[in-house]
Amino acid sequence: MTDDAIIEEPELQRFARLAAPYLQRAATGGHDPRAARDRPGSGLEFLDLRDYQVGDDMRHIDWRQTARRQRPVVRRFRSEAAVDWFICVDGSASVGLHPAKWAMSIRLASALAYTCLFAGHRVALLIFSDRIKARCDLGRGAHQYPRLLNLLLAQQADAPPTAGNGRTSLMTPSHLKTLPVNRSNPGLCRDYLSGNSNVFIISDFLQPDGMRSQLRSIQSIVSSTAILQVLAEDEVDIAATGLTQLRDVESGRERQVNLSDQIKSDARTALRTHRNDLHKDCLSLGIRMTSCESGQHWQPALLEHLRIRL
């Protein structure tokens, strides 16, 4: 499965040259006019003052200004480091249910990592489901990409329990009752993020709330957040007809539906509505979001994402 997810390096290089200019804008959310180096971060050169916020380093409190303004004020320093990218990849069962989705996620993550490294940024990788399944710390340079790639290829998305080889297999109700509850939770990545980092989350976001609360939590502590929704082409296509028991591979919730053309059409509509609603909410949160399908080519999908302006 993972072999077809590997992108040849020359192709990655060509893409990196094309996409690198868009990375800076992506890192600042696309609306910060300052250069990357003018962004606040860890460094020695003073940048500006601002009110203290929870989580700020106590050592950076400017006591003189605090006394003058009668409220805690911290000093910010011009960032001397390169931009840090945290690529968070959803490896939950809902992705594993459709192998093409996982392959597409690997391609997007590896291409993005390569592009970031090509631009001299530091890149970290987190693979999450209901836990952090794998992690690669921040790093830069030529040695970082193989590490990231090996980590991606070594991981598998959580596989849904199957009675055969199919991604949608016939299962008896007894099988279904033993399905594990395996909710995808990107909020777990929050513990590994730092304030000046940029987060790129690749997931299907197929949860009733679209993982909005976790995204909001991450967005509150990072410099920028971007999400790329990967959906399978046959996300809601089921070959069965008649009365069928459906079970969510992550939540374990069951639903009995009488599968008809109308019901299937309604499910496709619900998927579109879910994606559009998520897109609107991301816009309001200042989160860059695009969607792609597993059958698409990764390159235009990723380029479109990087080009987008908020």
Nearer to another protein, 81 or 257 (CB): 257
Q: Among 7-15, 188-196, 267-275, 279-287, which window interacts with another protein (CB under 8 A)?
A: 267-275
- Going residue by residue from 2 to 21, which x/- string records binding to another protein, judged by CB under 8 A? --------------------
User: Chain-centre distance of CA 47, in angstroms?
Assistant: 30
The residues near 265 (Cβ < 8 Å, ≥ 6 apart) are: none
Cβ proximity of 101 and 231 under 8 Å: yes
SS3 label, residue 29: coil
Report the residue from 21, 120, 166, 180 that binds another protein according to the rule CB under 8 A.
Answer: 166
Q: Among 62-70, 217-225, 234-242, 293-301, which window interacts with another protein (CB under 8 A)?
A: 234-242
Question: Is residue 261 a contact residue for another protein (CB under 8 A)?
Answer: no
Q: Could you give the CA distance from residue 310 to residue 30 in angstroms, rounded to a whole number?
A: 6
Question: Is residue 98 a contact residue for another protein (CB under 8 A)?
Answer: yes
**What is the amino acid identity at position 40?**
P
Q: Could you give the CA distance from residue 123 to residue 151 in angstroms, rounded to a whole number?
A: 13
Cβ 202 to another protein shortest distance, Å? 15
Question: Is residue 295 a contact residue for another protein (CB under 8 A)?
Answer: no
Nearer to another protein, 220 or 273 (CB): 273
Q: Could you give the CA distance from residue 16 to residue 123 in angstroms, rounded to a whole number?
A: 14
Question: Is residue 244 a contact residue for another protein (CB under 8 A)?
Answer: yes
- Of 18, 37, 17, which Cα lies nearest the Cα of 27? 37
Report the residue from 153, 236, 285, 310 that binds another protein according to the rule CB under 8 A.
Answer: 236
DSSP state of 196: T
Report the residue from 76, 247, 288, 305 that binds another protein according to the rule CB under 8 A.
Answer: 247
Nearer to another protein, 94 or 185 (CB): 94
Question: Is residue 165 a contact residue for another protein (CB under 8 A)?
Answer: no
Cβ 232 to another protein shortest distance, Å? 8
Cβ 161 to another protein shortest distance, Å? 8
Q: Could you give the CA distance from residue 185 to residue 130 in angstroms, rounded to a whole number?
A: 5
The residues near 284 (Cβ < 8 Å, ≥ 6 apart) are: none
Q: Among 6-14, 157-165, 185-193, 288-296, which window interacts with another protein (CB under 8 A)?
A: 157-165
Name the CA dihedral angle for 10, 11, 14, 17, rounded to a multiple of 10 degrees: -100
Question: Is residue 310 a contact residue for another protein (CB under 8 A)?
Answer: no
How many C-beta neighbours within 10 Å does residue 257 have?
16
Q: CA separation (Å) from 268 to 141, 244, 262?
A: 43, 17, 10
Q: Which residues bind another protein (CB under 8 A)?
A: 93-95, 97-98, 160-162, 166, 168-173, 175-177, 179, 204, 206-208, 232, 235-236, 238-258, 263, 266-267, 270-271, 274
